Structures are given as C-alpha cells and as structure tokens.
Structure 1
Amino acid sequence: MFSDIAPDFAGPFLTTTGVVAIAEIGDKTQLLSLLLAARFKKPWPIMAGILAATIANHLAAAALGVWIEGLLEPRVLRWVLIASFVAMAVWTLIPDKLDDDAAPKAGRWGAFLTTLVLFFLAEIGDKTQLATTALAARFDAVLVITLGSTLGLMLANVPVVFFGEALLRRLPLVQVRYIAAGAFVLLALAVLLAG
C-alpha cells in the first residue's frame, strides 16, 4: 500500500525541498536568521520560531496554490506556472538585503516569539513562499508541498542559526543564486514539456 503512495509523495516532496532549500540561501529570511542568532544566542527557541512561522506561512501558501489550481483551467494554469517559475528564476538572481526595520530589536518577547513574528512577516511575499504556492498548484498537494518547503527552508536556516557568519562567508552566493535560478527554469521547462 505504501508503494502506491510513495511515488506521489516522493517526487513533489523532494522537488519542493530542493528548490526551496537552494532558493533560501542568501534570502532575506536567512539573513534574518543570522541576525536573530547573533542577537539572542539561543538557537533552539530561534529554530522553533522559524519552524512554527514556516509551517503556518507555507501551509497557507500551499492551500492558496491548490485553490488557484482548482479555479483555472489546465491550459491557463500551465502558462501561469511557467511564467511564475521563470519570474522566480529572475528574482532569485537578485541579491536580498535585510531592511534595518526588519532587524530584531531588544524586547520582552524573547527569542521564540520575536523569531515567530519577524520570520512569519518576512516570509510573506518572499520567493520561497511564492514557490510554495506555485509548486502546490503544480502538484495539487497541500501537505506534501508544505512538508517539503518547510524542510527545505529549515535545511537552509539551521546551519545559519548554529554556525552563523562563518558559514555565510564561505558559501559562493552568486553560484548558489544561479543554481536556484536554474532549478526554477527547469521547473518551467518541465511544466512546458508536460503540457
């Protein structure tokens, strides 16, 4: 019975995990993770806040994607997805900067609540959230896409929270952006060729 479910789960899950993990590298929410880690020096509450914010944000994004998929006829949806993936490829090539207003401030909320609120807000309209919406529309799977996008985002942010600046200095962000853009172009081509 599991073998019947596995192919429907594995492809969308692994695709989403990989695309979101790569797209998150150098993203403003990853920079926010670094700032939160430097400010609070409490990795576990920060990770819990990132996880909770990502689940809530990406679950809503995936549900929106599936809802949109139900509204549009397949031919229109196909071109919307192709355009979305190409737009995300271009957007990925533009380096993110964290606004000073989004930097964590000292407050009474503590590491978990500060992370939860700031990360949730920073993720709204972010390329990983939009990728989650487009992938959910593509695969028509809210929970699988939410799990994959959450895992991908955590894979990119956990090392930053624990190893911080040393890790970011060693990553070739320009090459990572090109890889992420290539992944979105491949998704656009896959939708185009599957049509």
Structure 2
Amino acid sequence: MTSKDKILQAIKAAQLDEVALPAPVENPTVYDDPVQKFSDVAKAVGTSVLEATNLEAVKDHLLQTYIPEVQARWSIEKSLRIVSTLPEMENLAEQIVDADLNPHSLEDVDIAIMAAQLGVAENSALWVPETLIRVLPFICQHLVLLVAKNQIVNNMHQAYEKMGLGVDPFGAFIAGPSKTADIEQSLVLGAHGPRSLAIYLLSS
C-alpha cells in the first residue's frame, strides 16, 4: 500500500458524525441608515468614500480629483495605466473585454475601475463577483469600486440572501485597502493587494 493509499484510507476511517446546522440568527443587526453606517466603517478602515448622482459625476471626479490625487500622494511621475471592466469608462480607461487575457499582462495596472454587486453596512465589505479577469481587483495598485446606494444591506445574513449561493463561479468580499503588519509590527499597505480603495456610492 502506498503512502497516498494509507492517507486516503485514514481519511475515510475518520468520518465525523453529521452535525445539524446552527439555528438562524433571530435578530441580526440592522441600522437606521445603512448607507451612512457603511460609509463610516469604510472610512475607519482606510477607504475613501464618495457619493455621486450618476456615472458622469464619477468620471468627472476621477479625472479632475481622484487621478491627480493618486499621482501626488504616491509620487507617480509616469502616465498611469488605468483599466476598467465597465463600458461606461471607455473614454477614461483601457477596456478589459477579453476573458482569455493573460493575467500577467495586468502586472503594471495602476488603477482598476470595477462595479460591486452589493455592500454590507456592518463591515463595509463589497461583494465583487468575477468579471472577466479574476485577478484584476487584487493585482492593481489602486482599486475603484462603484456600488448603488440601494444595494447596501445591513449585515452579512442579508448579503448572502441577496447574492444567493452558487450563482457566481467566483467572487470576493473586499473591505478596505490591502494591509499587513506581520513583519516587525510595521503597517504595510498593498502587500497582498491594492494600496488604496475608493468607493463611489451611486444614487442612480
């Protein structure tokens, strides 16, 4: 018997008894103003949150304020590579339309602009389902996510009810920029993902 067979045999012999699922939470946390709570929590973890009436307002702010601020804050002198999965951003960003695109070709992306399906007030997490390129929201230096205000729910229980199970082949809850303090207890931004996260809350 090979080592592999022994391991598999041991796993089969160690089957645990079935355990019933826990009872549903009877009174999950809800807020008088989920959008305000979402914004407050997001800002507390280092996210930039802005409100916009529509996509044109978002594009204006990106061009006139956000992009210049990113260049100034992070001392970027070169032209930024900006990409987006949103057709509405075609005049502002390079469009990502090919699902077979080599992920390595995105290694120099400075800003990625994408849409989130919903947001969660209690932890400011945004559900971002896979859109063409799975690696995009993690490989970019700075991430911009758009979400409608009416898609902000109170808690994770409501989030799972809204998103359903098994609908998206892949997705991630994203909250705040990438941060780690594992090395010498020194806070590092961008170690495992974007250095910054900006969220635009859309009224329509």
Band of TM-score, shorter chain:
under 0.3
TM-score, normalised to structure 2's length? 0.27
TM norm structure 1: 0.28
More helix by share: 1
Which structure has more RCO (C-alpha within 8 Å, separation ≥ 6)? 1
More strand by share: 2
